[in-house]
Amino acid sequence: MDWTLFLGLFLQSLICTVIGQDSSQMPPNMTSIFNDEYSFPRDSILTDASFNCKAENGRVIYEWKKDGYVVLNSQFIAVDKSMGILKFLKMQNEDYGTYQCFATNDYGTSLSKPFKMMEARLGSFPPFQTQEIKCEEFKHCKVECRHKPTCLPESQCKVEWKIGEGTKTNVEIDKRVGVDGNGNLHFLWTNMSDWTGQQYRCGVWHEQLKTLVVGSQTSLRIDSATADPKVDPMLVFKENGKALIGEKGVLRCMFSGYPVPDITWISPQEMNIDNADGKYEISDFGRVLTILRAELENEGKYTCKHSGKNETVFLNVTSAPFLNGSNQMQDLVLPEGQEATFRCEAESSPDELPPTRPTWKKNGVDLKIDGGKYLLGENSQVLSVKDVQKSDSGVYQCMSENSEGVLLKEAILKVTDPIKTTVETVVPKTQNSKETGSNAAVAIIVAVLISIIVLVILVIVARRIQQRGSSMDKKELATGHDSENERKETSLKDQPV
């Protein structure tokens, strides 16, 4: 592999990533979170009906839409495009619907999750005559809340039973007397003192409206018993529950009997439940179990137990569609000419109906899937953008829904200039540099070798010269000795006999 090319590509990719993450050149990032629903009364002056839409990254312009149409300033609606504020001074009938915020800058548009605006209202009881209920002492007696009026949203509504004239005297709720999930009044065993000649009336209280309506007048006729019997416990009401993940779930069990039995709750994991662990709350004299923060593991059959007998109720833990996995709707930074792929594999909670097929938008506008620029795959869960250009940069949205809510997920596509690599110009220079470096190294090595050779030659020559000098000295010494002998012999010859 050519490491020069690899290094160039790596640096180019790194630069692209850094540029892509520059917030001043990025589409808005929606930070506002809204509830799924809001409720306000109609034709009333409002003081708390204000919504603030906020997004990050540069100068952002905001636009609010209702049912797909732009919301404009009017007599009772104020819209601030620069601040993202939508404020209702008074709700008219035409103002109820689905709202969504659009945050736009020069690089794209980000969307808030849509939410519904509903009417908070409370009806009234019809003017029916008083109804008489026959009861027996020590036995169970139920008084229905008849013709209960519409009350929305249900989370703001509560049934309160009254006794006598006016609305100030409530029926006292205790272990023997309770109200079920439908608002009916139960005497779990009937006492003769439960009828004093004053009528029972069902009242519905709307917390948001601070309004109470009453009706369903009922009188009792209680037949006395000859002795105090023991009445075995009997289930008179139970109610399953449903909870969104992270929210409260409520289960109910109500037993009659003389005496009224104590109730013990058991979890799907067959563990006794009490108030101490912080996950549950037992109220209404044991008749109501609240799961404070429901998770998927809380789903299942719960047992309400009394005197060795069991009844079961079921908690369904559910949610709006969700994405599962780390590769879902990820931001992308790509050079021109590449293909962008976004995955939106929406799922529902176990035992729920599957969510709808995702719909796709770019900058809040529906994409036209024509098989050219945009392609859908895997049952519309995968969007491919072919041959991306800078005009394809922006925010891509996928939306899916089920019976419990809406999924909206966004991913940013940032398209940069195509990667340019000067392979033909850079690589030769790099090769020349390598060759120059190699030649220099070879030259140094050759010079060193030559120096060593010269040094060796000089040493050899010096040794030979030294050896030659030693031989000449020996030879000269021998020659001198012979001459001395010759002189001595000549001297002897010249002496007279």
Mean pLDDT, each 10-residue run in order, the chain (497 residues): 45 44 79 96 94 96 98 97 97 97 97 98 94 96 97 97 90 98 98 96 97 97 90 95 96 96 96 87 97 96 91 97 94 96 96 94 94 91 96 97 96 90 50 46 58 60 47 41 41 38
Res 23: pLDDT? 63
Res 307: pLDDT? 82
HSE (side-chain half, CA atoms, 13 Å) at 58: 18
Domain 321-428 bears CATH identifier 2.60.40.10: yes
Res 288: pLDDT? 98
Q: Angle at the Cα of 10 (from 9 to 16), degrees rounded to 5?
A: 90
- Please check whether residue 122 is in contact with residue 209, taking contact to mean a CB–CB distance below 8 angstroms: yes
Res 59: pLDDT? 94
Spatial separation of the C-alpha atoms in residues 55 and 53, rounded to whole Å: 7
Work out whether strand 108-111 and strand 131-136 pair parallel, antiparallel, or are unpaired.
Answer: unpaired
Res 439: pLDDT? 52
User: What residue spans define the domains of the chain?
Assistant: 25-119, 121-229, 230-318, 321-428
Six token digits for residue 176:
């023997």
- Please check whether residue 383 is in contact with residue 394, taking contact to mean a CB–CB distance below 8 angstroms: no
Residue 497 neighbours by CB under 8 Å, 6+ apart? none
Cross-strand pairs, 20 = none
Res 481: pLDDT? 42
Domain 121-229: homologous superfamily in CATH: Immunoglobulins (2.60.40.10)
Helical packing angle, 423-494 and 3-20, nearest 10°: 140
Six token digits for residue 241:
């529950």
Terminal C-alpha separation, the chain: 110
**pLDDT per residue over 77-89, tens digit each?**
999 999 999 999 9
Cross-strand pairs, 370 = none
Domain 25-119 bears CATH identifier 2.60.40.10: yes
Report the CATH number of the 230-318 domain. Answer: 2.60.40.10
Res 116: pLDDT? 97
Res 277: pLDDT? 76
DSSP letters for 229-263: --EEEEEEEEE-EEEETTS-EEEEEEEEEESPPP-
Same fold, 121-229 and 230-318: yes
Res 25: pLDDT? 83
